[in-house]
Amino acid sequence: MQPFTILTAAAVPLPIAKIDTGMILPGRYMRRHRRPGHDYSEAFLHDVRFDENEQPRPECALNDAAYGTPQILLTDADFGCGSSREGAAYAVMDYGFRALIGPSFAEIFYGNCLQNGILLVTLDEAVIHQLWAAVRARPGSEITIDLPNQLVIDPAGARHSFDINPLRKERLILGQDDISVTESHGAEIVAFEAKRRMAFPWLPITSQA
């Protein structure tokens, strides 16, 4: 997992409340492989970005080239509600976002994103509205997210502090997902397997590395 420390990047507004995981990753993409060059970037918010005739919706800022290559999405309330599909976090990641800033996020989606190195920052609704206005006024303007100091620095230089669980913060900074934390216990797992194989020799615990 890619570590997350300090990110300075263009931000794009998405002022639509209750974007659910079915909109983030439409069901029809869910039976599709994710491969390099053929990932979920096309699927990400597809029907929000495109109309029934596959034409880009002009009102959607994600279709506006003036925003450059944004890595920060400024969401509205309850982003990521709905089904627990973990593919929604992959879609966010594959599209190129490293952080989402919004007034509130659904709990399961929040966990799935952090597990994949995407930082979700919750700020007051009033601050979010300011951020929308700031980037709309100057599309392409950059926002800085300083995770070690838990700060968002807006295009005007104003600082907004945010909360995050200390363990999740540490894992993001170190780039550790669940698997890498577990791998740090590698020696204990090997020892456990050896002990278990001796005590319960009928179990299918194989010894090859």
Task: Identify which of 75, 91, 96 has the alpha carbon closest to the alpha carbon of residue 7.
Answer: 96
Q: Which stretch binds other proteins (CB under 8 A): 48-56, 85-93, 120-128, 133-141?
A: 85-93
Minimal distance in Å, beta carbon 86 to other proteins? 4
> Applying CB under 8 A, which of residues 87, 103, 117, 155 lies at the interface with other proteins?
87
Residue 70 near other proteins by CB under 8 A: no
Question: What distances in angstroms separate CA 76 from CA 3, 30, 122, 183, one per listed residue?
Answer: 26, 24, 10, 37
- Give, in order, the Cα–Cα distances in Å from 15 to each of 9, 29, 77, 80: 19, 24, 9, 14
Q: Does 194 bind other proteins (CB under 8 A)?
A: no
Q: Where are the beta strands (DSSP E) in the chain?
A: 6-13, 72-74, 99-102, 119-122, 142-146, 151-153, 159-161
Q: Is 196 among the residues that bind other proteins (CB under 8 A)?
A: yes
Q: Which is nearer to other proteins, 1 or 60 (CB)?
A: 1
- Nearest-angstrom CA–CA distance, 46 and 25: 8
Any contact of residue 206 with other proteins (CB under 8 A)?
yes
Among 36, 37, 58, 157, binds other proteins (CB under 8 A): 36
Given a contact cutoff of 8 angstroms between Cβ atoms, the answer to whether 7 and 152 are in contact is no
Q: Nearest distance from residue 191's CB to other proteins, in Å?
A: 9
- Interface with other proteins (CB under 8 A): 30-31, 33-36, 84, 86-87, 90, 112, 115, 167, 178-179, 182-183, 185, 188-189, 192-193, 196, 200-206
